[in-house]
Structures are given as C-alpha cells and as structure tokens.
Amino acid sequence: MPEKIHYDDNIYFLTALIRALNDAVRLNVDADYFADKVLEDSLFVDASIQKMHTSVNENPHLIRRNSYLHSLMKLKKAYCRLVEDLLAVEGAFAASFAPMRPRLRRIAAGHLNDVKTIQNRLTEVQETKADRDVTSSDELHYLMSPIEDFSDPS
C-alpha cells in the first residue's frame, strides 16, 4: 500500500470513469467489442471504491476523514446509478450482462448499505461537534468575569 493515498484524485478519477461507463452503455456501440470491457471496468471501480472506503475507515486520525467519507458516499451513489443503468440496459449489452445480474445487484446493495452507514456516521459527528461547542453557563460566567475576581488572595 502506498505511504500517501491521494483520495481526492482517486475519487475524481473513479467519478470520471463512472461517467465514461454510463456514456458507453447509452451509445450504440457493438457489445461484441465493448461489453466485456464495460463489465470489467465496472468491477474495477467497485473494487477500488471498496479499497478506499476500507482505508478511510481504518484510519480514524485522517485529517480530512469526514470530507473523504462524504466524497466516498457520493461516489458510491454514482456507482449504484451506474449499476442500475447496467441492469436496465437492453439489446446486445443486456445479453452480455445477464450472467452478472445477481452479482451486480449484491454489489449495489452493499454500496447502498455503506451509504447509509456513512450518512449515520456523518450525522453523529455533526451532533457530537454541536454538543462539544456548547459553552455551559458556569464556563460563560468564568470567561466573562473580571480578572480581579479570581486573583490569588495570598
């Protein structure tokens, strides 16, 4: 594993690859030439997203962790839309993807579960952050009191 992972660039690359795959299945290209490659690339995207998600989860001290989780959540949603498009495609591509339909459905379901988990985690972080930022009345009184009130009597 590399010492430094470039999450932003990796996510950008995978997002661009998902767009290209979405465009590929919408075009009238010959499935004989491209169906296997589209399927192979979509499985590559799945594996890459999972590796990055695991890496972010295993690294709780990552500086921009919440930002990466949010980006991964959006990436997972985009990937699920790609899988939906692959499953809905008709014509020659449909026949090529038929044996992989159950696996693609399981993959999409896994990503949707991850999206829910990430949403819950980010919501918890926001709530915890809001709780920590509240100043108690005693703290506020101490902070607003003149310095003379707290001088050392000795």
Q: For 19-60, how does the pLDDT look when each residue is reduced to its tens digit (9 = 90+)?
A: 999 998 888 888 888 999 999 999 999 999 999 999 999 988
Q: Residue 120 corresponds to which tokens in the numbers above?
A: 């819950």
pTM: 0.77
Check: CB of residue 56 under 8 Å from CB of residue 68: yes
Query: What's the pLDDT band for 133 if we cut at 50, 70, 90?
Result: low
Q: For 79-111, how does the pLDDT look when each residue is reduced to its tens digit (9 = 90+)?
A: 999 999 999 988 878 888 889 999 999 999 999
Round to whole Å and give the CA distance between 70 and 84. 21
Round to whole Å and give the CA distance between 78 and 19. 9
**5, 33, 23: which is closest to 96 by C-alpha?**
33
Round to whole Å and give the CA distance between 7 and 13. 10
Name residue, tokens 């295993």. 58
